[in-house]
Structure 1
Amino acid sequence: VTMVDKVDQMVTDEFRRSSQLLDMMMFDDAVAPATGGSTLTYSYTRLKTPSTASGRALNTEYIANQAVREKASTDLKIFGGAFELDRVLQDTSGSLNEITFQLQQ
């Protein structure tokens, strides 16, 4: 019951492969309402200012410099779409698989 449907995985994979930007992005299954999550709010900690290195003169100390993090959260959006396809159109589409064509588009 809690397993991801193979069709869902195929559609997600098709979107990812057909877009260089989506293919480069990292996806995080951090929120899963179907498996007990209660919200689509994703909270995380991000790096606000990185720490830097610097030189120092002889017989002096380094200047303190720490990285700064901040908490952030965002409300996730549902991404997808739908199409309708009559079985007669699919059965008469010849070598072109109409369902595959619609999913790719």
Structure 2
Amino acid sequence: MPQSYTYPISNQWTTEEIIDVVNFLVAVEKVYQGGNSLAAIQASYAKFKAVVPSKSEEKQIDRDFKTTSGYSTYQVVKAMKDALNKQVSAKDKIRLEV
């Protein structure tokens, strides 16, 4: 895993939007680095989707982020949705391996 990398952000986003996107990407990192609560992932993903409503843009961000970090936003969102379908507690942590 690279020690430092850049986040895929758009220069068209406001400062608040950049913060929301970066917070979601940090939440994704936490899932891979020991786990993150379902509630935290849900909240950060909802804010992310307010900034990035387009599926194609979301997929591009996932590709760019996975290329630089090795972490997949897609896999985290999939794990979140699976946990919600299984009615996992919001306090429970979701963990993934790279």
Task: Work out which structure has the larger RCO, using CA pairs closer than 8 Å and 6 or more positions apart in sequence.
Answer: 2
Structure with more strand by fraction: 1
Q: Which has the larger radius of gyration?
A: 1
TM-score tier after normalising by the smaller chain length: under 0.3
Structure with more helix by fraction: 2
- Output the TM-score relative to the length of structure 1: 0.26
